Amino acid sequence: MTGTIGTTPNQTRRAALIRRASWLAWFTVVWNIGEGWVALVAAASAESQALVGFGVDSFVESAAAAVVIWRLRAEQRAPERAETVERQALRIIAVTFFVLAAMVGLESVRSLVAGEQPDASFLGIALTATSLAVMPVLARAKRSVGRSLGARSVEADSRQTQACVYLSFVVLVGLVFNAAFGWWWADPVAALGVVAFLVREGIETRRAEHVGDCC
């Protein structure tokens, strides 16, 4: 029988947290799809590898958030499968970190070797500055609800959003230096700067998947 009869306060609170986590994940999907397309338009106009990496990162973040939505819906339908789905979600999110790191790294190295000189991108500067304002708030909200739920996948997703904060900052710096001083190499170097963050977060997410195995 459905409804609230027999529902405990803890169950009611958890259901509210799941709804909040789902809303944050949906916001992430919609925001990052829009952000990704704007970034790729700006990248094509300026021939900026940093903005290509930023745009691809946005789509990867959307995919990771979609995995979180799947995990939360699975718990709502079958709470007894929550731990199994949690591990699967963590595994997928970890893979997205590594895929993104490889893509950004390879494109940045190729751009440096080829000596590609991107044009100034004021659209890219505006986009990354906006992301730098929005993403820290979103990351904190996800981390808070993830910890309250005890959902490691939601926390992992918050770390990916935090990685976007770092990416936004280094790409913004690279774009500003290129626009102000003509330092074309700052663009791909800025993109390379976030690769270490992505690899680290991928490793941490893989470790989170195995938390509790020996307990």
DSSP 214: T
Q: What is the pLDDT of residues 4-40, one digit of tens each?
A: 455 677 878 888 889 999 999 999 999 999 999 999 9
Residue-wise pLDDT tens digits, 167-211: 888 888 888 888 888 887 877 777 777 677 778 778 877 876 665
Higher pLDDT, 61 or 41: 41
Q: Is 166 exposed, middle or buried (0-12, 13-18, 19+ CB in 10 A)?
A: middle
Burial 136-154 (b: 16+ CB within 10 A, else e): eebbebbbbbbeebebbbb
pLDDT band at residue 213 using 50, 70 and 90 as cut-offs: low
pLDDT value at 74 more than 60 = yes
Res. 215: pLDDT tops 50? no
d(CA 205, CA 128): 25
- pTM of the complete model beyond 0.85: no
**Considering only 60-74, 152-166, 180-194, which range has the smallest mean pLDDT?**
180-194
Between these two residues, 149 and 111, which has the higher pLDDT value?
149
Nearest to 149 by CA among 201, 71, 63, 210: 71
138's tokens: 């979103």
What whole-number distance in Å separates Cα of residue 83 and Cα of residue 75? 9
214 — pLDDT class (breaks 50, 70, 90): very low
Name residues whose C-beta falls within 8 Å of residue 150's C-beta, 6 or more positions apart in sequence.
Answer: none
Longest dimension (CA), the chain: 67
